[in-house]
A = this chain, B = another copy of it.
Amino acid sequence: MESRFGMTEPDNLPDDLRERVAEIAQKSGFVPNIFRALGHRPAELRAFLDYHEALMERTEGLSKAERELVVVATSAANHCTYCVVAHGAILRIRAKDPYLSDHVGTNPWHAPLDERARAIVDLALALARTPELFGDADVASARAAGLTDDEIWDVGAITALFAASNRLAHLTALQPNHEFFLLGRAGT
């Protein structure tokens, strides 16, 4: 079973959602399971898609690869298999690096990264698991590494969105589509 509470096939979604999911499926070549798992609650799926798009498709601030880096790092800290595997695939593609995702997805705290990427991941991790300890020192470190406040917001907001997304995946025991495991790997 790919989701604890059942799956909704795209054909059974309201028109606007069916079209949006179809568009995503066309790009990926398959319908990512998350959309099928959330489909029985169209209003929630719609808001989730909007939030996701607002943060992951934003053209200013962090690069697309950096956004995926935040997702993989924080999803790793939350041991979310769906998000690590699915966004690990996207990170491999966007970073043009077939090894990075397995490093960050296993040990985000010490995966080998350049200084800017390390600052991004450290900031994300500070907020991901013990947000009550997040404070001015974390923001100051990020600024010291050259992140702008706009970029810091991107890191924090993506971390926040995937705190939600990871929990939806854990709630539903969501399984990644098989396609994700191979995307962007060397020689594939």
Contact = CB atoms under 8 A, between A and B. Distances in A.
A64 interface: no
A106 B109 contact: no
30 contacts: A4-B139, A5-B149, A44-B51, A44-B54, A47-B48, A47-B51, A48-B51, A51-B51, A81-B102, A81-B106, A81-B111, A102-B176, A102-B181, A107-B132, A109-B133, A110-B133, A110-B170, A112-B175, A127-B167, A153-B171, A160-B164, A160-B165, A160-B168, A163-B164, A178-B186, A181-B186, A182-B188, A185-B185, A187-B188, A188-B188
Given A157-B171, A178-B99, A110 B132 contact: yes
Given A78-B132, A128-B167, 19 more contacts: A4-B139, A43-B50, A47-B47, A78-B131, A79-B106, A79-B109, A80-B131, A81-B103, A102-B181, A105-B106, A110-B134, A110-B173, A127-B171, A153-B171, A160-B164, A160-B165, A163-B163, A181-B185, A187-B188
Interface string A102-133: 11011101111000000000000001100111
Interface string A88-109: 0000000000110011011101
A161 interface: yes
Interface in A137-188: 139, 149, 152-153, 156-157, 159-161, 163-168, 170-171, 173, 175-176, 178, 181-182, 185-188
| Interface size class, chain A | 35 or more
A131 B50 contact: no
B44 A55 contact: yes
Given A5-B153, A54-B41, A163-B164, A170 B131 contact: yes
A175 B54 CA distance: 25
A29 interface: no
